[in-house]
Structure 1
Amino acid sequence: MAGQSFPFTTSALRSLRLQREWLEWEDRRRAVARRCRSHRDPAEARVQLAKPHRRCRDPAVHSALFAGDLQQVQALFQDEEAANMIVETVSNQLAWSAEQGFWVLTPKTKQTAPLTIVAARGYTDCARHLILQGAELDARVGGQAALHEACAHARPDCVRLLLAFGARANVLSEEGAAPLHLCTTPESLECAKLLLDAGAAVNLAAGDEATPLHVAAARGLEAHVALYLARGACVDLRTGRGETALNVACAGAEPGAAGLHEAAARRLLEAGADPRVAGRKGHSPLHHACAHGHSYLAELLLRHGAQAGAPNAAGLTPLDCALQAASDAAEPEVLLAALLDHGAGPAHPEMLKHCANCPRALEVLLNAYPCVPSCDAWLRAVLPEVWQAHEAFYSSAGRMVNQPRRLQHLARLAVRAQLGDRCREAAARLPLPPLLRDYLLLRVEGRIE
């Protein structure tokens, strides 16, 4: 009995249960062996039964692994069976109870392997000891292998160790992700390099058909994007939702991380990514950039051939998306002027209400019409305090509703129409005085005439 008991716990009941499981496994193994001997089929004679792994909830074991205590790990894990045990942790989590109608604490059990725990925390000495004791390198206890966790937590030393001992660089998690898909932070760049050097497939698609390039682009990881492109990543591959890497880069460009995503998008465009390719719901990269109010990213896309007037599946143009985000954008007038300079048509008058409280943006839009359109919606949308602060502009705009504009303005529109989507490029090349060039490009003056 003592030789068969669980060595890491003092609980007698647990020892007895584990011993019973072991004996049941031995009985099944012997039964299979007897059936194989009674048949002549050689294929059936090779039937084997996988040996079950031991399970442990002993706090002492947990503490040694999570703290990286090498001496305790060496004392507790002295053979292959111990190195491949299943470590179970139980934590109480809030879960909604439909029957009771409120949130309740529900115990949740999580399973993992000793090697996975120490690899995620960068304990290379502990990981080496477990490997030398026979720990399975690619075991996916709990859904992910040790290499997944080492990459997810940016532990290059552990990644190097695991690969040196033969861990598979393309091992898939239960969700279909390879370790390269989990290099999602700037600190994980070295992990990505190690994986690629070990033969990781740079164009391998995860469960949602996203490649490592999609993952890096979505998080604005310029260095990762550059690395993958240099190693042969394809910029044209799409996810299951039809998104290219450029699409997800622009979609992820939220206000706090616009610069990072702009740099990643530039890398993709330089590698040949097509900014005109739309993804889910017909949203192009330019739609995403405008929906986030990012003027510099939008200008980058426009310079590389993005179509300023292309509608999405709902019929919205990038200009419409920019208007809807005008109140949250830092400089909406810059974005709107860029779109108009690259061929976007004037917005529908009903859309003007979205930028009614952004006088500079509203001025740019109103100057794209031959006369100020009659629409009470945008006038009513102006807040009293905004009107008071910019009374000169709003009063001039109100007076010019449905009134003839100056010949100078009409001439400006005629020249812009002739230049079309090359307006900004042509204005830079024409021998025009700076004031006239700025006027042609819808310079903000603070009034409508």
Structure 2
Amino acid sequence: MGNITKKGSRELVTDTAKSLEDGSLVVLHTKLYEAIMREDCTSIQALLRCHPVNQPMTVLANSTSYRLLLNQQTQSIIPIHLAAEYRRAQSLLCLLEHGANPEVRDTRGLTTLHLMLLHWPITSTTWTKPGDRIQRILTDIQNNAVTCLRILCEHGAQVNARVDNSNKHSPLHLAITYGTYPVLSILAQNGAHVNAINESTMTPLHMAADILNKEMIETLIACGADINCAVSTTGNTALKLAVCSASSKAGRLLAAGVSCIRLLLIHGAKVNAQDHEGQTAIHEACFGGREAIINLLLEFEANVNILTRNGESPIYMYLQRSSNVRDTALLASLLSRSYPLRLTNNQGILPAGIMLPEFHLLRETLIKLAQKPLSLEDICKRNIRNIYGEKYKQHLKQVLPVKIWNSVYGYYDLAYLLK
């Protein structure tokens, strides 16, 4: 540990030895705790002469300096865990240089790195004015956390060590769970497996897509995440998970997820990838009935005629919900791309939404449309709309004669038919 030359350190060692002789172990632990919190490296070094660096310390809850840490009468905590949780960078470095093991686990199976991620500061500054005092404080807190993380990585912390519980989360999974996206690139740079799976066979990208966190998705893609990796238990891709979340009631109310879905599609997400049930992103989007999501997927050439293993088409999923059925304009848009129009599943069952009494006339109209064979001209129009979609709609307008273009894209008369 080297020679201790600062004034007062020898007296501290003598006092500590006397405390031990008197049986006052709690006094030693309290002093070590206080030294770590003050980042008093000289005192830490001296106290480590009498306290093994990887041994837990127990401090009374009524200790003035320990009240913020504990709500119980006493609690044991390993010195390096304390320094990491409270982002005491100098204390952390001092402990590591004096033999602290970053892989030592607490009673919950958490390493020092796990604990740091669990206690990562949430320091959003969106509500502060640029340059004000609070913003500077929050920025300093964030920077200090990053410094501690880098110190841990530089001193051999295992960036792929999994939590010893049922989730089996890696540090990257923990970072996603607790919203600590600034650490993702640091962990990846230090060897974290960006495509690691947890107990649910989900990668960090799956988790980030599921919660519609664009910053995390962007960072993980930049770090080499496999964008089309499927969850082995369900077959879900990041795109399908994002569409599912964005199409939910919460996603609709918050108008969330469109930018995340577009980001995944731009970076090569397979829009027609099917899960184990044969469902695709457009099935999820149609069931949710959110027009912005449906149109975005169609822009990237989603197949509106693809069937699930049970024979369910995207329009079948759309008609499952009564709230969707009432949006006749969107229904007309989907019908204009559907061929052949399949209203039943493999068991011949119609969608639940159109079985309500209020939709009796609409149901009869749709059944007639499904039974009526299309002309070759109408089939060609549907194929053009499906191949070129909304993405090249305006380009075709410049290329095709006006009459032909209007004929191809003039399908809104269906909305009148469905009223």
CA distance 1:204–1:122, shift in 2 (3 Å): same
Give the 3 Å change call, closer, same or farther, for CA 441–9 of structure 1 in structure 2. farther
The aligned residue for residue 347 of structure 1 is 343
> In structure 2, how many angstroms separate the alpha carbons of the residues matched to 1:403 and 1:279?
29
TM-score scaled to structure 1, two decimals? 0.60
- Which runs of structure 2 are paired with 1:1-20 in the superposition (5 Å)? 2-3=20-21, 7-8=25-26
Return the match for 1:440 from 408, 411, 419. 411
Alignment deviations for residues 73-106 of structure 1 (CA, whole Å, 9 cap, x no partner): 98689328554234799xxxxxxxxxxxxxxxxx
Distance (Å, rounded) in 1 between the aligned partners of 2:227 and 2:33 = 45
- State the distance in 1 between where 2:22 and 2:310 align: 67
Q: Percent identity?
A: 20
Relative distance call for 1:351 and 1:164 in structure 2 (3 A) is same
Q: 1:167 aligns with which of 152, 157, 168?
A: 157
Counterpart-to-counterpart distance in 1, 2:287 and 2:318: 5
SS in 2 for 1:269: helix
Contact 2:26–2:58 (CA<8 Å) still a contact in 1? Answer: no
Q: 1:250 aligns with which of 226, 243, 251?
A: 243
Residue pair 1:311, 1:317 contacting (<8 A) in 2 also: yes
Shift of 1:274: 1.5
Residue-by-residue CA offset, 1:358-405 (whole Å, 9 max, x unaligned): xxxxxxxxxxxxxxxxxxx43x246xxxxxxxxxxx9xx58x969999
- CA distances 1:10-29 after superposition (whole Å, capped 9, x unpaired): 9xxxxxxxxxxxxxxxxxxx
Q: Which whole-Å CA distance do the structure 2 matches of 1:225 and 1:196 have between them?
A: 14
Unaligned 5+ residue runs, structure 2?
1-18, 60-71, 121-144
Count, aligned residues: 340
Shift in Å, 1:192: 0.8
Checking the alignment, whether the CA contact within 8 Å between 1:216 and 1:225 is kept in structure 2 is yes
1:268 equivalent in structure 2: 264
1:119–1:127 contact (8 Å) kept in structure 2: yes
* CA shift for structure 1 position 218: 1.9
Change (3 A) 1:404 1:287: closer
Q: Aligned in 2, Cα 1:2/1:296: closer, same or farther, shift over 3 Å?
A: same
188-197 or 232-241: bigger deviation: 232-241
Please point out which of 407, 418, 434 is paired with 2:380: 418
- Structure index of larger Rg: 1
Task: Return the letter of the residue paired with 1:85.
Answer: Q
Q: Distance in 2 between matches of 1:267 and 1:137?
A: 37
Of 88, 113, 121 in structure 2, the residue corresponding to residue 147 of structure 1 is 113
CA offsets 1:396-445 (integer angstroms, 9 cap, x no match): x58x969999xxxx999875433224336479435447987775145644
SS in 2 for 1:275: coil
Choose the corresponding residue for 2:175, options 168, 176, 183: 183
Change (3 A) 1:82 1:252: farther
Where structure 1 has 5 or more consecutive residues not aligned to the other structure, the ranges are 11-57, 90-106, 356-376, 383-393
2:297 equivalent in structure 1: 301
> Do the aligned partners of 1:251 and 1:288 also contact (CA within 8 Å) in 2?
yes
Give, as a single letter, the amino acid of the residue that structure 2 aligns with 1:160.
R
CA–CA distance in structure 2, aligned partners of residues 347 and 110 of structure 1: 63
Paired letter, 2:208: A
Aligned to 1:196, the other structure's residue is in SS state helix
Corresponding residue number in structure 2 for 1:235: 227
Kept in 2: contact 1:343–1:422 (CA 8 A): no
Deviations 1:320-347 (A, max 9, x none): 32223452x6984465344334336253
Contact 2:57–2:79 under 8 Å retained in 1: yes
Flag the structure with more relative contact order, 1 or 2, with Cα contacts below 8 A and sequence separation at least 6: 2
**Structure 2: distance between partners of 1:240 and 1:314:** 20
